[in-house]
């Protein structure tokens, strides 16, 4: 195990002044304590039963479990289950919420709950409705639900919409889009619109594919990983095992992140209990703490350094790419002064990164929402792809581009056609054959445009398959108002969330309790971010006397009532094996799903992993794009209505999850690893505090362009000066984010705010 600091390019990351509460390593013993607490608690037996069930992990899209068992990944490696997974299961095995609870708690009371309190109420266990003018949710019969839902979806196609999260199965996703497209609606908003849509868009433009082109097996061949804008130490913990192994075999890791995330410096992994868990393993060889939003410029700097040292693969570019000359010329012509001023990283550090890349044999470029959630998110993705191509790190084993996705089946939803964006030609043609007509050409609503349209009274009916549309959107005030203009909203969920209490429809808000991934009466499948499809076995719910429904059953019945037997016998599809047959016939690369019931053979989707420099683009070449310099000037304090006398500072706020949170679901109040004791904190650099005359633990107001949060506690931490961090979804109330025009994703990672003394 490489514990030798001399192997690291820096002794420490540049802005490493963390607070005293933050630990010296990520992961480590707290992970084991958490496991122990939960697995030997009264819920322990249920938890173990679920962990051992043959179904995929509910949480992140790195993916584990399935037919190989709960602790095994696609390469057969054992001990592959993290704390995040336990957090997710623990929430799902809670008791059902009693009817009496909703009879007693008015909607006003429910709206006072925090995200964590809402989640801890337990499992939804009966269908309920909040009718216009009523103060309480009440139980509703299934016949009335179908009556309201059917009437709602008989409106004109442009006025109905869906929203979904990656919690559900491929089968439910396929049904949802088929039902909507059979109506003639492309309004298939999805949570990925808010996170990795720039990856999907950018990769399609460059490589003709929308997902990672690297398999887990291939990652094991890499000797360098460049990890940008991803806090994998919490959000994809098992990726850390891969990074530890890479360092162990002498490889190097470049981390690019404005915040020093302690787990990306040193991580103690329970998968290596002796050598890693307590001492921690070195992760970053080089940590670049750039100005938020400047990633494309930093990567242009890396390209420039590669050019200047004669380390670009010109023959490779000539043979396998197009547009490369302009990209090379762009990097050559931008001055080092411009690059370093915009990204805030020194020329020496950038050159060190380029040297690591050029000295490595096989480099994988991974990223997450720190790259995509910017106004120039697509350019950020292009700049990574350009760097990978210029250094010849595409189209062979051990190298490539690897967006690291969020929710466990978020990628599967895209593959099944749940998107408002243009779908792949093969899928479109197959769906058109099935429908016997062309798909609607009316542009569908993505998540942001759905909220905008609802705000303009253009949406009548909305079905939400999981997720928290209200909580995930910026400008919570607008989201609430917009959802309030929709006549009928139907939420399908396993547990309550704030969306069910704040995202209320004008007439009828219906909450339908559904079975989760390990409880369904039929098998289902999910797709990991590494393009691996897992099969989930049937299961049973622990809830007694509950009135739950499989999502597939609800969708097939609703579709049957709307469409009859067009274009399929919907009721037959209640048995999910028939959906898998349809998927095999319609979704390119998914052919093997047609026989998975018999073979139980989980598989990597055909055509996704690219290990030769031939790309599924029209001419077989990768396309390179010049990226523009982003405008990253922060507004003056006057833009926030503040006078010169007000003690405060304008910073670029990064909105992020805590180390105890999955998307909008909060599991614990405290963020141990950043030393943030509660949710209403702002993490700032000491230099900024001194500049503004503010002090640690002082209570301040944080103001954005749509509102403010008061009584926010300042915590000093290892974030670069000029940037700060707060937690979403709570902070979403203060800003109305700019969006990347090509992908529709809001700039959650660079929100100008004014922080001032109360
Ligand atoms: S890394 Fe992701 S998929 Fe693996 S166990 Fe953890 S949450 Fe589940």
At 6 the pLDDT is 53
Distance from chain centroid for Cα 607? 23
Which of 82, 231, 232, 408 is the pocket-test mutation for ligand 1 (most atoms within 8 Å of CB)? 82
Q: Hey, whose CA ends up nearest to atom 2 of ligand 1?
A: 60
Q: Residue 99, Cβ neighbours under 10 Å: how many?
A: 15
Residues 476, 482: Cα–Cα separation, whole Å:
10
Q: What single DSSP character describes residue 189?
A: E
CA distance 13 to 29: 23
CA of 234 to the centre of ligand 1 (A): 10
Q: Please report the pLDDT score of residue 686 as a whole number.
A: 97
Q: How far is the CA of 405 from the centre of ligand 1 (A)?
A: 11
Q: Measured from the CA of 83, which atom of ligand 1 is nearest?
A: 6
> Is there a shared CATH topology between the 198-403 domain and the 637-757 domain?
no
Architecture of domain 107-195+408-604: 3-Layer(aba) Sandwich (3.40)
398 torsion bin: left (phi>0), alpha (psi -120 to 50), beta (else): left
Peptide bond into 729 cis (omega under 30): yes
Q: Which of 755, 710, 703 is nearest to 734 (CA)?
A: 703
For ligand 1, pick from 35, 47, 57 the residue to mutate: most ligand atoms within 8 Å of CB.
57
Q: List alpha helices for 641-741, DSSP H.
A: 686-692
Whole-number Cα distances in Å, 502 to 113, 314, 479, 753: 10, 55, 9, 25
Output the CA–CA distances (angstroms, integers) from residue 257 to 488, 625, 660, 662, in the order listed: 42, 23, 19, 20
Atom index in ligand 1 nearest the CA of residue 84 equals 7
Segments of the chain scoring below 70 in pLDDT: 1-6
3-state DSSP assignment of residue 476: helix
Which CATH number is associated with domain 198-403?
A: 3.40.228.10
Give the tokens for residue 263.
Answer: 């787990």
Q: Tens of pLDDT along 397-450?
A: 999 999 999 989 999 999 999 999 989 999 999 999 999 999 999 999 999 999
Based on DSSP, count helices (H) and strands (E) in the chain, helices before strands.
Answer: 30, 28
Strands 751-757, 699-703: pairing is antiparallel
DSSP state letter for 700: E
List the domain boundaries for the chain. 31-92, 107-195+408-604, 198-403, 637-757
Place of tokens 């055909």: 606
**Residue 194 Cα, ligand 1 centroid: separation in angstroms?**
21
Question: How buried is 555 (Cβ within 10 angstroms: 0-12 exposed, 13-18 middle, 19+ buried)?
Answer: buried
Ligand 1 geometric centre to CA of 58 (Å) = 8
Q: For residue 236, which atom of ligand 1 is closest to its CA? A: 1
CA distance 281 to 706: 42
pLDDT value for 155: 96
For ligand 1, atom 3, name the residue with the nearest CA.
63
- Ligand 1 pocket list (CB less than 6 A): 57, 59-60, 62-64, 81-82, 84-85, 236-238
Task: Please give the class, per CATH, of domain 637-757.
Answer: mainly beta
ipTM: 0.90
Tell me if the bond preceding 159 is cis, omega within 30° of 0: no
Cα-based distances in Å from 741 to 386, 403, 440, 737: 21, 20, 22, 12
From atom 5 of ligand 1, which residue's Cα is the shortest distance away? 81
Ligand 1 atom at minimal distance to the Cα of residue 60: 2
At 164 the pLDDT is: 97
- The CA distances from residue 86 to 34, 120, 562, 672, 693, in Å, are 9, 15, 39, 17, 43
Find, among 141, 737, 87, the residue nearest to 475 by Cα.
737
Dihedral, 323, 327, 330, 332 alpha carbons, nearest 10: -120
């Amino acid at each position: 195990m490489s514990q030798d600091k001399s192997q690291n390019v820096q002794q420490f990351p540049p802005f490493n002044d963390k607070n005293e509460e933050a630990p010296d390593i990520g992961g480590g013993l707290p992970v084991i304590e958490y496991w122990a607490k939960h697995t030997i608690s009264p819920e322990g037996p249920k938890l173990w039963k679920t962990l051992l069930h043959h179904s995929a992990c509910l949480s992140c899209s790195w993916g584990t479990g399935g037919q190989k068992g709960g602790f095994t990944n696609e390469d057969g490696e054992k001990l592959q289950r993290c704390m995040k997974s336990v957090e997710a299961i623990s929430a799902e095995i809670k008791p059902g919420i009693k009817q009496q609870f909703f009879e007693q708690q008015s909607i006003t009371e429910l709206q006072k709950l925090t995200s964590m309190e809402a989640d801890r109420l337990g499992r939804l266990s009966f269908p309920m409705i909040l009718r216009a003018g009523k103060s309480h949710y009440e139980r509703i019969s299934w016949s009335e639900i179908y009556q309201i839902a059917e009437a709602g979806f008989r409106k004109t196609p442009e006025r109905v919409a869906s929203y979904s999260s990656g919690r559900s199965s491929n089968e439910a996703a396929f049904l949802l889009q088929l039902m909507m497209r059979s109506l003639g609606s492309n309004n298939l908003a999805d949570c990925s619109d808010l996170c990795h849509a720039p990856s999907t868009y950018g990769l399609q433009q460059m490589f003709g594919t929308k997902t990672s082109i690297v398999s887990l097996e291939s990652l094991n061949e890499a000797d360098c990983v460049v990890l940008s804008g991803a806090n994998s130490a919490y959000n994809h913990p098992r990726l850390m095992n891969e990074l530890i192994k890479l360092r162990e075999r002498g490889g190097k890791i470049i981390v690019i992140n404005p915040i020093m995330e302690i787990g990306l410096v040193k991580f103690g992994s329970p998968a290596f209990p002796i050598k890693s868990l307590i001492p921690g393993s070195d992760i970053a060889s080089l940590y670049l703490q750039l100005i938020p939003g400047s990633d494309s410029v930093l990567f242009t700097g890396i390209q420039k350094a590669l050019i200047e040292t004669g380390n670009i693969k010109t023959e490779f570019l000539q043979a396998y790419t197009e547009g490369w000359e302009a990209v090379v010329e762009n990097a050559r012509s931008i001055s080092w002064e411009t690059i370093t001023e915009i990204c805030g990283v020194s020329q020496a550090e950038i050159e060190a990164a380029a040297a690591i890349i050029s000295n490595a044999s096989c480099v994988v470029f991974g990223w997450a929402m720190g790259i995509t959630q910017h106004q120039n998110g697509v350019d950020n993705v292009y700049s990574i792809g350009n760097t990978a191509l210029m250094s010849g790190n595409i189209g062979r084993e051990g190298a490539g581009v690897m967006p690291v996705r969020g929710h466990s089946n978020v990628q599967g939803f895209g593959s099944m056609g749940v998107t408002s964006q243009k779908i792949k030609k093969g899928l479109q043609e197959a769906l058109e054959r099935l429908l016997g007509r062309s798909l609607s050409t009316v542009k569908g609503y993505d998540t942001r445009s759905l909220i905008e349209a609802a705000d303009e009274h253009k949406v009548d009916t909305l079905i939400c398959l999981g997720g928290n549309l209200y909580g995930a959107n910026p400008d919570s005030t607008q989201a609430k108002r917009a959802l309030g203009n929709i006549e009928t909203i139907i939420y399908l969920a396993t547990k309550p969330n704030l969306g069910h209490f704040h995202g209320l429809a004008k007439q009828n808000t219906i909450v339908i309790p559904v079975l989760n991934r390990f409880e369904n009466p039929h098998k289902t499948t999910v797709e990991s971010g590494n393009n691996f499809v897992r099969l989930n076995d049937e299961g049973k719910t622990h809830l007694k006397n509950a009135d739950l429904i499989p999502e597939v059953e609800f969708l097939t019945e609703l579709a049957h009532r709307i469409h009859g037997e067009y274009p399929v016998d919907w009721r037959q599809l209640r048995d999910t094996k028939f959906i898998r047959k349809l998927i095999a016939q319609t979704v390119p690369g998914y052919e093997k799903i047609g026989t998975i019931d018999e073979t139980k053979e989980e598989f990597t989707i055909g055509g996704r992993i690219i290990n030769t420099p031939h790309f599924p683009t029209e001419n077989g070449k990768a396309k390179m794009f010049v990226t523009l310099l982003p405008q990253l000037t922060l507004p003056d304090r006057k833009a926030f209505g503040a006078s010169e006398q007000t003690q405060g500072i304008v910073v670029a706020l990064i909105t992020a999850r805590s180390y105890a949170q999955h998307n909008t679901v909060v599991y614990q109040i405290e963020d141990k690893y950043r030393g943030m004791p509660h949710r209403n904190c702002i993490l700032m650099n000491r230099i900024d505090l001194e500049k503004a005359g503010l002090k640690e633990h002082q209570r301040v107001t944080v103001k954005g362009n749509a509102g403010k949060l008061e009584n926010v506690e300042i915590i000093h931490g290892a974030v670069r000066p000029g940037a700060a961090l707060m937690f979403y979804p709570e902070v979403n109330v203060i800003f109305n984010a700019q969006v990347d025009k090509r992908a529709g994703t809001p700039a959650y990672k660079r929100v100008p705010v004014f922080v001032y003394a109360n």
